[in-house]
Amino acid sequence: MNIGIDIVKISRFENKDIHFIKRVLTEKELLVYNNLLEEKKAQYLASRWASKEAIYKANHDEHYLSYSILNKDNGEPYADGHEEIKISISHDGEYAVASVLIC
């Protein structure tokens, strides 16, 4: 069992260019991102970055940016195709934090 955690300042993810966004988000995540209100985009991008960084810290997978972090209908985040990865994401004010448990 491995754990990872990451915290980021949401404002660091405001006004990012499309090259950066496409590097961080998978196609599935990009579909969600493009349908968000403009004021929610930085928070979404920050939380996906934090989730993927936490995954890397837990398993040292060099392909950590290829993981799709999606949400179930009830809002619970999950790593698409990776049932062994449990994710928790939280936002408070200026920060987003993600913790990962790999079973």
Walk along the chain (103 residues) in steps of 10 and give the mean pLDDT of each run: 97 96 98 97 98 97 97 97 97 97 96
Q: What is the pLDDT of residue 26?
A: 98
Q: Which residue's entry shows tokens 């993810």?
A: 13
**Cα–Cα distance for residue pair 72/22, rounded to 1 Å:** 22
Q: What is the pLDDT of residue 15?
A: 93
Name the DSSP class of 63: T
Residue 46, CA atoms < 13 Å, CB-side half-sphere? 22
Q: What is the pLDDT of residue 11?
A: 97
Q: What is the pLDDT of residue 48?
A: 98
Q: What is the pLDDT of residue 29?
A: 98
Q: What is the pLDDT of residue 92?
A: 95
Do 77 and 70 touch, CB atoms closer than 8 A? yes
Q: From 79, 28, 73, select the one nearest 54 (Cα to Cα).
A: 79
Is the CA virtual torsion 45, 10, 43, 81 positive or negative?
Answer: positive
